[in-house]
Structure 1
Amino acid sequence: MDKLKSVLSGEESRRDDRSVLQSVNEASTLGWGTRIKGFIACFVVGGACTVLGVCMLFLPRIGLTLFIVFYTFGNICALCSTMFLMGPLKQLKRMCDKTRALATAIMIWKNFGLALLFCILQILSFSWYSLSYIPCAREMIMKGVSICIK
């Protein structure tokens, strides 16, 4: 009966005009608690894989290969963690906002000769980038740091 009502009212034709991404985005609504849990789980797994990858960098012969695998998987997992907070479409749109452009550029930049330095910078910039999706998190961190410095 609902299907008949939607066809007669014209809602069915409007539904077909929506893109697949819009349909997926509407169907994947999670509660805020579930989003935070998913973010923390993916972020911790991604961070652990990234740190493990950096540790593997110092192993002879196979270390570079293991570094590439763990570090790449860690970054992908950590990037997916922020999708829990904003959703995939909003995250992709907001990655290049003025307030996140520097963190995004540092996060994407990879250089073999300075791998360790950029790994540290990437972890820090991704953490700062992720905090930008949590309301008032950056301000709280800045206030906490300013209190510790004084």
Structure 2
Amino acid sequence: MEKLRRVLSGQDDEEQGLTSQVLDSSSLSFSTRLRWFGICFACGVLCSVLGVGLLWLPKGTRLFAVFYTLGNLASLASTCFLMGPMKQLKKMFEKTRLVATILMLLCFVITLCAVFWWHKKELALLFCILQFLSMTWYSLSYIPYARDAVIKCCSSLLN
């Protein structure tokens, strides 16, 4: 309503970009954001678990790779409800998690390539494992000092 008043009174001379218009029109309450985060995250976990269940079916490798990748993407997208899509994208490509983000997204794409174009089941399974590891490393970047703790733990196991 306020925007309509500004436009009608001639105070809104500048035209907003598409991103600003989308962000203005999609302001959700915190409880709604939290609910949709939970729903989206639960759907992601369900898809991933379903993918693992489909692995043992005949020709199940394709279904596994697709459902597992979709599950990871849904889980990743669920955080957009908590902080907003633009803030999520900015945080994803910050200097501290840039390599983890690129590796994670690359694993998503290469998993699907291994299944649909290269028809290599073993390679698809390997890239699903790499998806899990890259998602874990990416997620740890949001917890202060978690990556350092994991590196220290792994290095102590190797010594």
Settle same-fold status: TM greater than 0.5: yes
Match of 2:87 in 1: 90
Deviation at 1:4, TM superposition (A): 6.5
Match of 1:135 in 2: none
CA contact (8 A) 2:34 2:81 kept: yes
- Stretches of structure 1 that go unaligned for 5 or more consecutive residues are 133-137
How well do the aligned residues superpose, as a CA RMSD in angstroms?
3.0
The answer to whether residue 7 in structure 2 is matched with residue 30 in structure 1 is no
CA contact (8 A) 1:106 1:125 kept: no
Using the alignment, how far apart are the partners of 1:86 and 1:4 within structure 2? 29
Describe the shift of the 1:108–1:5 C-alpha distance in structure 2 as closer, same or farther (beyond 3 A). closer
SS in 1 for 2:133: helix
Number of residue pairs aligned between Structure 1 and Structure 2: 133
Match of 2:7 in 1: 6
- Stretches of structure 2 that go unaligned for 5 or more consecutive residues are 115-122, 154-159
SS in 1 for 2:88: helix
Question: What's the % identity of the aligned pairs?
Answer: 36
Paired letter, 2:97: R
SS in 1 for 2:52: helix
Paired letter, 2:27: T
Q: How do 1:1-150 and structure 2 match up within 5 A?
A: 3=4, 6-11=7-12, 13-14=13-14, 17-60=15-58, 62-110=59-107, 111=111, 112=114, 113=123, 114-125=126-137, 127-128=139-140, 132=142, 138-139=143-144, 142=146
SS in 2 for 1:97: coil
